Amino acid sequence: MADDFNLEGKVTDDSIYSGAGSGLAGFRRFLRLAESRPGLLPPWWSAQKSSECVAVGMQESGWSSLSCAIEKSDVQEHYDDSKFPMQLRMFGEQVYGRGPAGQSGTAMRQVMMATEGGEMTATHLDISGMARGT
């Protein structure tokens, strides 16, 4: 939702970006959609795990609170991984069927696979201007 907001100005009616008190409704939709994608979630995933995720998100404060927006830098700091925001975007593409701003993540997945396989090294790649057409 942050990418939709930042890259497209798109706001989901019941999200924190539209002034809702939390992103619970959108998170529940996201979980249902992820659960509907065959093979996307691990085999141990269950309705109980989904409920546990919602319960963690409903905590009033902390990293996982659904009542706060997070920034790319927050994700990088929390996971101590500069590539993790892109990994989350690629997971989101698998859930939603489209990448941020409607862009395909295929080329980025290929770059990341090559990097992880030791075929190339990447220190920083900023493609934010591509989505905005700048």
Closest CA to 69 of 23, 4, 8, 13: 23
pLDDT higher at 48 or 97: 48
User: What pLDDT is recorded for position 120?
Assistant: 61
Confidence of residue 124 (pLDDT cuts 50, 70, 90): low
Q: What sign has the CA pseudo-torsion 62, 112, 131, 28?
A: negative
Closest CA to 23 of 66, 69, 61: 66
Note if the pTM is more than 0.95.
no
Closest CA to 74 of 63, 83, 65, 66: 63
Q: What is the dihedral of CA 108, 114, 115, 117, to 10 degrees?
A: 140
